[in-house]
Amino acid sequence: MQGQYSGISQAEVTKLQQLSGHPVSFSSLAQTPSLVAGLDANSQNSSQEFLVPNDLIGCIIGRQGSKISEIRQMSGAHIKIGNQTEGSSERHVTITGTPVSITLAQYLITACWTPAL
């Protein structure tokens, strides 16, 4: 349902768990302040930018972009990974969307590289 918050279904929670490799419960989602604040259907889009080490970018993108596509689909956020710049060991990642979609995308991205650390 575009533009309206209808809750997170059990199927979506299961998929989120599979993507992240971490258990997620409805109660933990409801207790996350940034998620609760983002439940307003009229929330405006914003952007969040952070740096990711070059050696972890592959964990986020996945084979032929499969992982980043899943993260985009699950979160509803637009995710842009900047080009590698010479002499830099990090790349800019920009997430744009509602507060809830940004929070979900950040969670999924962090979960991607956590096992790699």
Q: What is the pLDDT of residues 59-108, one digit of tens each?
A: 999 999 999 999 999 999 999 999 998 999 999 999 999 999 999 999 99
> Is the full-model pTM beyond 0.85?
no
Please tell me the predicted confidence (pLDDT) of residue 10: 60
Q: Count Cα atoms within 13 angstroms, Cβ side, for 46.
A: 10
Question: First-to-last CA distance in the chain?
Answer: 36
In this predicted structure, the answer to whether residue 114 has a pLDDT above a threshold of 90 is no
Residue range 12-48, pLDDT digits in tens: 656 656 655 555 444 444 444 444 344 444 568 999 9
Please tell me the predicted confidence (pLDDT) of residue 4: 40
* Long-range contact pairs involving 40-45 (C-beta distance under 8 Å, separation at least 24): 40/5, 41/3, 41/4, 41/5, 43/98, 43/99, 43/100, 44/98, 45/96, 45/97, 45/98
Q: Among all chains, which residue has been given the structure tokens 């768990």?
A: 17
CATH of domain 46-112: 3.30.1370.10
